[in-house]
Amino acid sequence: MAIRLLLVDDHEIVRMGLRAVLSDVNDLEIVGEAGTAEECIEKTREVQPDVILMDVRLPVRSGIEACREVLAERSDIKVIMLTSYADEDAIVASILAGAQGFVMKEVSSDALSKAIMTVASGGTILDSVLTRNVLEKLQHNDSPKLQKEHLTERECEILILIGQGFTNREIARSTFLSENTVRNYVSSILHKLGFKNRSQATVYALEQKHKGY
Protein backbone atom coordinates (compact mmCIF):
# COMPACT_ATOMS: atom_id res chain seq x y z
CA MET A 1 0.00 0.00 0.00
CA ALA A 2 1.32 3.43 -0.94
CA ILE A 3 2.34 5.90 1.75
CA ARG A 4 -0.15 8.77 1.86
CA LEU A 5 1.68 12.12 1.97
CA LEU A 6 0.36 15.60 2.78
CA LEU A 7 2.47 18.62 1.71
CA VAL A 8 2.30 21.73 3.90
CA ASP A 9 4.05 24.98 2.94
CA ASP A 10 2.73 28.52 2.60
CA HIS A 11 4.55 29.04 -0.71
CA GLU A 12 2.72 27.43 -3.63
CA ILE A 13 5.92 27.27 -5.67
CA VAL A 14 7.57 25.20 -2.94
CA ARG A 15 4.63 22.81 -2.86
CA MET A 16 4.78 22.53 -6.65
CA GLY A 17 8.48 21.73 -6.46
CA LEU A 18 7.95 19.09 -3.78
CA ARG A 19 5.14 17.52 -5.79
CA ALA A 20 7.29 17.45 -8.91
CA VAL A 21 10.16 15.81 -7.03
CA LEU A 22 8.05 13.25 -5.19
CA SER A 23 5.26 12.43 -7.64
CA ASP A 24 7.23 9.68 -9.36
CA VAL A 25 8.48 7.99 -6.18
CA ASN A 26 7.28 4.40 -5.95
CA ASP A 27 4.90 3.54 -3.11
CA LEU A 28 4.21 7.21 -2.39
CA GLU A 29 0.92 9.02 -3.04
CA ILE A 30 0.54 12.77 -2.53
CA VAL A 31 -3.01 13.05 -1.20
CA GLY A 32 -3.20 16.78 -0.56
CA GLU A 33 -1.61 20.17 0.04
CA ALA A 34 -2.07 22.93 2.60
CA GLY A 35 -0.69 26.43 2.99
CA THR A 36 -1.51 27.22 6.62
CA ALA A 37 -1.70 25.42 9.96
CA GLU A 38 -5.50 25.52 9.90
CA GLU A 39 -5.61 24.10 6.37
CA CYS A 40 -3.19 21.37 7.46
CA ILE A 41 -5.39 20.35 10.38
CA GLU A 42 -8.53 20.33 8.23
CA LYS A 43 -6.83 18.53 5.35
CA THR A 44 -5.43 15.91 7.70
CA ARG A 45 -8.92 15.07 8.88
CA GLU A 46 -10.12 14.92 5.29
CA VAL A 47 -7.40 12.89 3.54
CA GLN A 48 -5.98 10.85 6.45
CA PRO A 49 -2.26 10.98 5.51
CA ASP A 50 0.40 8.63 6.85
CA VAL A 51 3.12 11.28 6.68
CA ILE A 52 3.01 15.09 6.71
CA LEU A 53 5.89 17.05 5.19
CA MET A 54 5.53 20.47 6.82
CA ASP A 55 7.34 23.79 6.80
CA VAL A 56 8.34 24.94 10.28
CA ARG A 57 7.32 28.54 9.53
CA LEU A 58 3.72 29.10 8.45
CA PRO A 59 1.66 32.31 8.60
CA VAL A 60 -0.43 33.06 11.71
CA ARG A 61 0.20 29.69 13.39
CA SER A 62 3.48 27.84 13.00
CA GLY A 63 4.08 24.37 11.65
CA ILE A 64 5.10 23.41 15.19
CA GLU A 65 1.63 24.32 16.48
CA ALA A 66 0.03 22.41 13.61
CA CYS A 67 2.23 19.39 14.36
CA ARG A 68 1.21 19.39 18.01
CA GLU A 69 -2.50 19.69 17.22
CA VAL A 70 -2.46 17.06 14.47
CA LEU A 71 -0.69 14.56 16.70
CA ALA A 72 -3.08 15.27 19.56
CA GLU A 73 -5.84 13.95 17.30
CA ARG A 74 -3.86 11.31 15.39
CA SER A 75 -0.75 10.15 17.22
CA ASP A 76 -0.03 7.55 14.51
CA ILE A 77 0.71 10.19 11.85
CA LYS A 78 4.40 10.87 11.15
CA VAL A 79 5.50 14.49 10.74
CA ILE A 80 8.70 15.67 9.05
CA MET A 81 9.50 19.34 9.50
CA LEU A 82 11.12 21.30 6.68
CA THR A 83 13.38 24.26 7.41
CA SER A 84 15.25 26.72 5.22
CA TYR A 85 17.97 27.43 7.74
CA ALA A 86 19.42 26.08 10.97
CA ASP A 87 16.94 27.46 13.51
CA GLU A 88 17.87 25.28 16.48
CA ASP A 89 15.11 26.58 18.74
CA ALA A 90 12.44 25.72 16.16
CA ILE A 91 13.93 22.27 15.63
CA VAL A 92 13.97 21.47 19.35
CA ALA A 93 10.38 22.73 19.62
CA SER A 94 9.40 20.54 16.65
CA ILE A 95 10.85 17.44 18.25
CA LEU A 96 9.20 18.20 21.57
CA ALA A 97 5.92 18.71 19.69
CA GLY A 98 6.24 15.18 18.36
CA ALA A 99 7.80 15.51 14.91
CA GLN A 100 9.62 12.39 13.76
CA GLY A 101 12.39 14.36 12.10
CA PHE A 102 13.50 17.47 10.29
CA VAL A 103 15.32 18.12 7.02
CA MET A 104 16.76 21.17 5.32
CA LYS A 105 14.88 22.36 2.23
CA GLU A 106 18.00 22.01 0.09
CA VAL A 107 18.02 18.25 0.73
CA SER A 108 18.41 16.14 -2.42
CA SER A 109 15.35 14.51 -3.92
CA ASP A 110 16.71 11.03 -3.18
CA ALA A 111 17.44 11.92 0.44
CA LEU A 112 13.98 13.45 0.86
CA SER A 113 12.16 10.43 -0.52
CA LYS A 114 14.30 8.16 1.66
CA ALA A 115 13.48 10.31 4.69
CA ILE A 116 9.76 9.93 4.04
CA MET A 117 10.06 6.16 3.66
CA THR A 118 12.18 5.90 6.81
CA VAL A 119 9.74 7.87 8.92
CA ALA A 120 6.75 6.00 7.51
CA SER A 121 8.35 2.72 8.56
CA GLY A 122 8.93 3.92 12.12
CA GLY A 123 12.38 5.50 11.91
CA THR A 124 13.47 9.05 12.58
CA ILE A 125 15.33 11.62 10.51
CA LEU A 126 17.80 14.11 11.94
CA ASP A 127 19.71 16.23 9.45
CA SER A 128 23.42 15.97 10.27
CA VAL A 129 23.92 19.65 9.41
CA LEU A 130 21.71 20.61 12.34
CA THR A 131 22.21 17.85 14.88
CA ARG A 132 25.27 19.19 16.73
CA ASN A 133 23.66 22.58 17.36
CA VAL A 134 20.39 20.97 18.42
CA LEU A 135 22.17 18.77 20.97
CA GLU A 136 23.55 21.87 22.65
CA LYS A 137 20.08 23.35 22.89
CA LEU A 138 18.64 20.14 24.33
CA GLN A 139 21.21 20.11 27.09
CA HIS A 140 19.48 23.21 28.46
CA ASN A 141 15.97 21.86 27.94
CA ASP A 142 13.82 20.38 30.68
CA SER A 143 13.85 16.92 29.08
CA PRO A 144 14.75 14.07 31.44
CA LYS A 145 18.36 13.05 31.92
CA LEU A 146 19.36 9.49 31.26
CA GLN A 147 19.56 7.41 34.41
CA LYS A 148 21.51 4.42 33.20
CA GLU A 149 20.67 2.38 36.27
CA HIS A 150 17.00 2.61 35.25
CA LEU A 151 17.64 0.98 31.86
CA THR A 152 18.58 -2.62 31.36
CA GLU A 153 21.64 -3.50 29.29
CA ARG A 154 19.37 -4.53 26.42
CA GLU A 155 17.41 -1.27 26.64
CA CYS A 156 20.67 0.70 26.49
CA GLU A 157 21.66 -1.28 23.40
CA ILE A 158 18.33 -0.56 21.72
CA LEU A 159 18.51 3.13 22.69
CA ILE A 160 21.85 3.38 20.90
CA LEU A 161 20.29 1.85 17.77
CA ILE A 162 17.35 4.26 18.02
CA GLY A 163 19.91 7.06 18.06
CA GLN A 164 21.30 5.71 14.79
CA GLY A 165 17.86 6.04 13.20
CA PHE A 166 17.09 2.31 13.09
CA THR A 167 13.47 1.25 12.63
CA ASN A 168 12.00 -1.47 14.86
CA ARG A 169 12.47 -3.97 12.04
CA GLU A 170 16.13 -3.04 11.64
CA ILE A 171 16.69 -3.24 15.39
CA ALA A 172 15.04 -6.66 15.43
CA ARG A 173 17.40 -7.91 12.73
CA SER A 174 20.44 -6.44 14.47
CA THR A 175 19.59 -7.85 17.91
CA PHE A 176 17.99 -11.14 16.77
CA LEU A 177 14.78 -10.26 18.57
CA SER A 178 11.24 -10.28 17.24
CA GLU A 179 9.83 -6.97 16.04
CA ASN A 180 7.12 -7.19 18.69
CA THR A 181 9.72 -7.64 21.44
CA VAL A 182 11.64 -4.62 20.15
CA ARG A 183 8.44 -2.59 20.15
CA ASN A 184 7.92 -3.49 23.81
CA TYR A 185 11.50 -2.49 24.64
CA VAL A 186 11.06 0.86 22.89
CA SER A 187 7.86 1.54 24.83
CA SER A 188 9.66 0.71 28.07
CA ILE A 189 12.55 3.04 27.19
CA LEU A 190 10.20 5.92 26.40
CA HIS A 191 8.31 5.36 29.65
CA LYS A 192 11.44 5.16 31.82
CA LEU A 193 12.97 8.29 30.29
CA GLY A 194 9.72 10.22 30.27
CA PHE A 195 9.67 10.83 26.52
CA LYS A 196 6.52 11.25 24.43
CA ASN A 197 7.84 9.71 21.23
CA ARG A 198 10.70 8.05 19.44
CA SER A 199 12.19 11.20 17.96
CA GLN A 200 12.83 12.62 21.43
CA ALA A 201 14.61 9.38 22.36
CA THR A 202 16.60 9.58 19.13
CA VAL A 203 17.90 13.06 19.84
CA TYR A 204 18.57 12.14 23.46
CA ALA A 205 20.58 9.09 22.43
CA LEU A 206 22.63 11.32 20.13
CA GLU A 207 23.14 13.74 23.00
CA GLN A 208 24.51 10.95 25.18
CA LYS A 209 26.87 9.89 22.38
CA HIS A 210 27.96 13.51 21.89
CA LYS A 211 28.79 13.73 25.62
CA GLY A 212 30.70 10.45 25.45
CA TYR A 213 28.34 8.39 27.61
Q: Three-class SS string for the chain?
A: CCEEEEEECCCHHHHHHHHHHHCCCCCEEEEEEECCHHHHHHHHHHHCCCEEEEECCCCCCCHHHHHHHHHHHCCCCEEEEEECCCCHHHHHHHHHHCCCEEEECCCCHHHHHHHHHHHHCCCCEECHHHHHHHHHHHCCCCCCCCCHHHCCHHHHHHHHHHHCCCCHHHHHHHHCCCHHHHHHHHHHHHHHHCCCCHHHHHHHHHHHHHCCC
Over residues 100-104, the mean pLDDT reads 85
Q: Is the pLDDT of residue 88 over 90?
A: no
Most distant pair of Cα atoms in the chain: their distance:
51
Give residue 3's pLDDT band: very low, low, confident or very high (50, 70, 90).
Answer: very high
Which CATH number is 148-194's, of 1.10.10.10, 3.30.420.40, 2.80.10.50, 3.30.565.10? 1.10.10.10
CATH classification for the domain delimited by 3-128, as one of 3.30.420.10, 3.30.300.30, 3.10.580.10, 3.40.50.2300? 3.40.50.2300
pLDDT in the model for residue 6: 98
- Per-residue pLDDT tens digits for 52-84: 999 998 998 889 889 989 999 999 999 999 988
Looking at residue 84, what is its pLDDT? 80
Considering the chain, tell me which residue range(s) the CATH 1.10.10.10 domain(s) occupy.
148-194
Chain-centroid distance of CA 136 in Å reads 19
Q: What is the pLDDT, as a whole number, of residue 110?
A: 93
What confidence score (pLDDT) does residue 197 get?
78
Q: What rounded mean pLDDT belongs to the chain?
A: 85
**Confidence at 212, pLDDT banded by 50, 70, 90:** low
Please tell me the pTM assigned to this model: 0.70
Cα four-point dihedral sign 197, 117, 88, 37? negative
CATH 3.40.50.2300 occupies which residues in the chain?
3-128
Which comes out higher in pLDDT, residue 138 or 98? 98
* pLDDT for residue 139: 52
Measured distance CA(28)–CA(121) in Å, rounded: 13
The whole-angstrom separation of Cα 20 and Cα 109 is: 10
What is the pLDDT at residue 92? 72
Distance CA 135, CA 151 (A): 21
**Mean pLDDT comparison of 89-103, 181-195, 196-210, highest-scoring range:** 181-195
- pLDDT tens column, 121-135: 988 887 555 555 555
pLDDT at residue 132, rounded to an integer: 55
Percent of the chain exceeding pLDDT 70 equals 84
